[in-house]
Every structure is written in structure tokens, then in C-alpha cells.
Amino acid sequence: MTIFMGKFKLAGHFLMLSLQQTLRCKEQRFVEETVRLISNGKVGKKSDLVQARSWVGALNVTGLPSNQFILRYDRASGPGGQNVNKVNSKCTLTLPGLSNCTWIPQEVRNILRSGKFRYYAKSSDSIVIQSDETRSRETNKLKCVKKLVQEIQQTCQFPNETTAETAKKWTKIKEKANKERLLEKKVHSDKKKNRGRITSNY
């Protein structure tokens, strides 16, 4: 009975150590990832990330280069009476070759092509937006452009620029976490070395 209880306690002890080690590893990876993102050589200067954030913030309907887009008008479907069958009011706005659109910052293009942007067609590397909400071609065109601007601003969210002081703070946190991890590792190793076998009392 003593052997059984001893083995049960030992198994529980190993389980707790394993759980603690897993949590420490996750915490360590989080700290390292945070430090890597902050200390990426862009601190204290106007980086591409800052330029992309400024570009997205200043984006508006009138600021888009119209010569970069392809417009097509087709007959709409749905309610609207005979108008939808006679007038090409449905507007399709296409931006081809998104990867080569240098007027869009690279950081923004990366996000739009990552799968988070609902209007991006990966097969053709283009942005396609449609609108047939009204009977007016110009109104539908304006709605397409507004959809594009709003969706870009909602999809492209950038963190604020990190100061050198904050980066230094996270570096210290990483160093402290490393020291604690090595100390825990040494303590655990010493416990294993000093651990004796469980003996029977009968």
C-alpha cells in the first residue's frame, strides 16, 4: 500500500512539474516573440510600418488613382422592375495585379494578400468589388470605391510605433525570463539527482 501511494504521489509530482514547465515555455515563447516584434531594427525611425499606417489613415475616396482601376457595367439582378433588365447599372470595380501596385505601401499589400481582405481574389491577384444596390451607375461606382476604402481601413490595423525605452524594457524582461528558466532547470536537475528510490515499509 505504501509503495502504491508513493508511486501515486510521485506521478502527481511529475504531472505538476510537466504542467509548470509547459506554462513556462509558453510564457517564454510569448516574451521572445514580443521582443522580436519590438526590437526589429525599426524603433526610433520612420519605418515602413509607420508609413503604411499613415497611408491607411489618410486614405479617402477622392485620393485613389482612377487610372489604376478597371470599371465594368452589367445588367443587375434582383428587385427593381424592368430597369434591371434594360440598363447596365451593376458596377464591378477591379484592381488588377495587386502585388505590383507600388502606389500601395508594401505592408498594406501584404495584409490585403494574406487572406484577411474579403475582396481579394488570390487566383488573379486582384481586388474585385461589385455593387448593384441602386439604379444609378455612378452611385454604384461610388459605393464600390467606398467599400474599398472602408474595408482597407478595417482590415489594415497597425500597432503604434514602439519607443526605444519600451524596447529596452522588453529586453530586460526577456533576460529576466531566461535567468529564471535556467534557474528552474538547474533546481529541477538537482532534485532528480538527489531523488532516492521509494522503499517498502513491510
- What one-character-per-residue DSSP string does 56-87 give? HHH--GGGS-GGG-EEEEE---SSSTTHHHHS
Q: Where are the domains of the chain?
A: 50-155, 161-191
| Distance, CA of 134 to CA of 117 (rounded, Å) | 24
Greatest pairwise CA separation for the chain in angstroms: 99
List helix spans (H) across the chain.
Answer: 2-38, 48-58, 83-86, 106-112, 137-155, 164-194
The CB-based long-range contact list for 186-195 (8 Å cut-off, 24+ gap) reads 188/17, 188/21
At residue 120, what is the residue type? Answer: Y
Q: Taking a C-beta distance cutoff of 8 angstroms, is the pair 52, 149 a contact?
A: no
Task: Name which of 23, 65, 57, 7 is nearest 157 in CA terms.
Answer: 57
pLDDT in tens, the chain (202 residues): 444 444 445 445 554 555 555 555 555 554 455 445 544 544 334 578 888 888 999 999 988 998 999 999 988 765 555 555 567 889 999 999 999 999 999 999 999 999 889 999 999 999 999 998 888 889 999 999 999 999 999 999 876 666 677 667 777 888 888 888 888 888 877 777 777 655 555 5
- What is the rounded distance in angstroms from the CA atom of residue 135 to the CA atom of residue 178? 65
CATH, domain 50-155, list 3.40.50.620, 3.90.330.10, 3.30.70.100, 3.30.160.20 = 3.30.160.20
Report the candidate in 37, 35, 17, 15 with the shortest Cα–Cα distance to residue 25: 17
Residue 166 · residue 38 · CB < 8 Å? yes
Whole-model pTM above 0.85? no
